[in-house]
Chain A
Amino acid sequence: MKMEAEIVVSNLVKSYSNNMKALKGIDLRVAKGDFFTLLGPNGAGKSTLIKVLTTLLVKDSGEFTIGGINPEQEKAKIQTYIGVASQENEIDPNEKVENLLVFQGRLFGLSYSEAKLRAEELINLFQLAEYRSKRSETLSGGYKRRLHCALALVHRPKVLFLDEPTVGMDPLARANFWEVINQLNKKETTTIFLTTQYLDEADKNANAMAFILNGKIEYSGTISEFKNKVSKSEAMSLDDSYLEFIKSLSNN
C-alpha cells in the first residue's frame, strides 16, 4: 500500500546569483510519518533544498507541497506545520532556558499556562531541568543544541527539518537526542527530514533516504533497498554503501 505523501517535490530548480545551479530539477516524495534522511557530500545541495522547502530561499521553478500546503503561498500555515532546527543555534543568549521555551510557545499562540506546560515537557524530554533558570549563553555546546532543537518542537510540528542537528553534541547527548526524535517519530508520527554527515546516525534511525549529488537526486527509496542496490547486502553499513555508491557514480 502506498503511504500518504507528506512532502512532494517536483522538478525543483534553484540557482544562486553566480549562476551556479544548486538544485537541478529535484523530484522527491517523503511519506507521512517517515524518518527520512537526505544524504550527499558537502555542496551537493542538501542545505539548499531544506532552505527552499522551509521558505528561506525562493525557488526558480518547480513545485513542492508539505502536508498539502503550498509553503510559498501559505506562509502562516506552513510555519505552524513545520519545525526547523538548522545547522546554527538560534537562541537568544541573554534569555533563560525556560523563558525562551515559554516565549516560543506563546509566539505560536499558546496561552501562558499552556506554554509553561509545554516548556516543562520539553525541559524534561531534553534533560534541561538543571539549566532551566540559566541564561542560554552559559550552556555548553551540547546543551545549547538540545535547547535549539527543543525550541523547534514547542508547537508540535507535523514535519521536523533537522539540518545536521547533532554537530557539537557529545555521544551521550547524541544518543539522548535520537531517543527523543525517535519517540516523536514513532509516538506522535512526526515526519522527520534529516540531513547529516554522521551516517551511522542515519543508518540507525532513518527508514527512508535520498542521495543527492550535484543538485540531482541519484537515489530515493528505503535505506535497506539502497544497501541492497549498492552492495547486494543489507549487512553492509550505510557508511560503506555510501562510499561505494559515490565510487560507482564517478565511474559512470
Chain B
Amino acid sequence: MNSNILLIRRAIVKLIKQPSAPLMGFGMSLFFLIVYNAGIGGVGYLDIFEGKGYLSFLFPMTIISLAMGSSAGAGQTLNSDMQSGYFKRLYFSPASRWALVIAPMIADVISSLFFTGILLCVGALFGVTFQYGLLSVLGILLLSLLWSVTLSGFSAGVMIRTGQHQSAALVTNAVFLLIFLSTTFLPRELITAKWLLAASWGNPATYILEGCRYLLAGTSDAWFFNIALVLFSITTIISLLFALSSARKMKIQYP
C-alpha cells in the first residue's frame, strides 16, 4: 500500500480511537440546538417563519458549529505527533510532505460528514423539514464538506507553520465569533441593530446558514445557496493551497 494512503488510514484510525474533537463538535452542536430551541423556540410561531417552526430555522447552526469542532482535529493530530516527536519519524519516511498534512484533514472531513449525517437524522426525527428531499440532504452535505475542508486546511496550515496548538485554535475561535455575527438565531427582518445587519452580509457563515435554510424549510432564497457554493469552493481551494504550501515550507523544529 502506498505510504500516503497508509498515513490517511492512520489518521482515520487515530480519530476513531481518540474521537474527542469531533464528539465535542457534535455534542456542542446538539446542545446549542436543544437549548436555543427550548429557550426561544416560541418565536417560530411568528409569521416570518412561514409556519415552518424554529427548529428548521435554527438547524443550520449545527452544521457550522459541528465543523468548527471537527476542524480542530487536524490541528490536534498534528500537534500530538509533533509533541511526541513521532512527526519527525514520519517526516523521515518516504511519505510525501503533503500527505503528512492532508491525511489528518481527510480524517477530519470524513468525521465531519459522518456527524453531519447523524445530525440530519436527529433533525428529521424532531421535525426538521427537507424542502427538496434527498437533494436537500446532498446539498447540505456538500456545504458541510466545503466548510470543513476550509476550516481543517487553515487549522492544519497554522499548526504546521507555528508548531503551536494554541495558534490552530485561533481558527476555531474566529469561527465561533462568526456564529454570533450572523442570522444564526433570528431572521434578518428581526435584527434591529444596523451594525449587526451589515456584519451579517459580510459574514461568510451567513451564506451557509441561509443556503441551508433554502434547502431545509425553504425560507430563504436559492441565491444564498449558490453564493455559498461559489464562496466556499473558493475558500476550500485557498485553504488547501495554504495547507499544501505550509507542508512545502515545513521545517522540523529542534530545540
Q: Give Cα distance in the complex from A142 to B111, angstroms.
A: 37
Identify the stretch in A2-10, A80-88, A231-239 within 8 Å (CB) of chain B at 4 or more residues.
A80-88
Residue interface mask A88-118, B partner, CB < 8 A = 1: 1111111000000001101111000000000
Residue numbers in A under 8 Å from B87 (CB-CB): 90
Residue interface mask A172-191, B partner, CB < 8 A = 1: 00000000000000000000
Residue numbers in A under 8 Å from B95 (CB-CB): 107
Interface membership of A195, Cβ < 8 A = no
B85 contacts A108, C-beta separation under 8 Å: no
Interface membership of A243, Cβ < 8 A = no
Interface membership of A13, Cβ < 8 A = no
Range of interface residues on B (Cβ < 8 Å): 20 to 34
Of B3, B84, B89, B252, chain A has the most CB atoms within 10 Å of the CB of B89
Contact of A107 among B17, B84, B94, B254 (CB under 8 A): B94
B94 contacts A91, C-beta separation under 8 Å: no
Interface membership of B10, Cβ < 8 A = yes
Residue numbers in A under 8 Å from B86 (CB-CB): 90-93
Residue numbers in B under 8 Å from A92 (CB-CB): 81, 84, 86
Tell me the minimal C-beta distance from B103 to chain A in angstroms.
12
Tell me the minimal C-beta distance from B3 to chain A in angstroms.
5
A106 contacts B6, C-beta separation under 8 Å: yes
* Interface positions of B from 218 to 239, Cβ below 8 Å from A: none
Decide if the interface of chain B is mainly helix, strand, loop or mixed: helix
Q: Give Cα distance in the complex from A80 to B93, angstroms.
A: 8
Interface membership of A56, Cβ < 8 A = yes
Contact of A104 among B81, B93, B252 (CB under 8 A): B93
B93 contacts A79, C-beta separation under 8 Å: yes
A91 contacts B252, C-beta separation under 8 Å: no
Q: Give Cα distance in the complex from A84 to B252, angstroms.
A: 14
A93 contacts B6, C-beta separation under 8 Å: no
Interface membership of B18, Cβ < 8 A = yes
Q: Give Cα distance in the complex from A128 to B30, angstroms.
A: 46
Interface membership of B195, Cβ < 8 A = no
Nearest CB in chain A to that of B18: its residue: A94
Tell me the minimal C-beta distance from B230 to chain A in angstroms.
38
A79 contacts B17, C-beta separation under 8 Å: no
Of B10, B17, B86, B251, chain A has the most CB atoms within 10 Å of the CB of B86
Of A80, A90, A107, chain B has the most CB atoms within 10 Å of the CB of A107
Residue numbers in A under 8 Å from B6 (CB-CB): 103, 106-107
Q: Give Cα distance in the complex from A217 to B227, angstroms.
A: 64
Q: Give Cα distance in the complex from A104 to B86, angstroms.
A: 11
Range of interface residues on A (Cβ < 8 Å): 20 to 34
Nearest CB in chain A to that of B81: its residue: A92
Residue interface mask B1-16, A partner, CB < 8 A = 1: 1010011001000100
Tell me the minimal C-beta distance from B45 to chain A in angstroms.
50
Contact of A79 among B1, B7, B14, B92 (CB under 8 A): B92
Q: Give Cα distance in the complex from A56 to B255, angstroms.
A: 13
* Interface positions of B from 14 to 32, Cβ below 8 Å from A: 14, 17-18
Residue numbers in A under 8 Å from B248 (CB-CB): none
Interface membership of A123, Cβ < 8 A = no
A88 contacts B85, C-beta separation under 8 Å: yes
Tell me the minimal C-beta distance from B128 to chain A in angstroms.
37
Q: Give Cα distance in the complex from A84 to B92, angstroms.
A: 8
Q: Give Cα distance in the complex from A91 to B7, angstroms.
A: 15
* Interface positions of B from 240 to 255, Cβ below 8 Å from A: 251-252, 254
The 8 A-B pairs of least Cβ separation, nearest first, read: A90-B89, A90-B85, A107-B93, A92-B86, A107-B3, A90-B88, A88-B85, A93-B84
Supply 16 further A-B pairs (C-beta < 8 A) apart from A51-B254, A109-B3: A47-B254, A54-B92, A79-B92, A88-B85, A89-B84, A90-B88, A92-B84, A94-B17, A103-B6, A104-B93, A106-B1, A107-B3, A107-B7, A107-B90, A108-B3, A108-B94
Instruction: Please list the residues of chain A having a beta carbon within 8 angstroms of any beta carbon in chain B.
Output: 47, 51, 54, 56, 76, 79-80, 84, 86, 88-94, 103-104, 106-109, 151
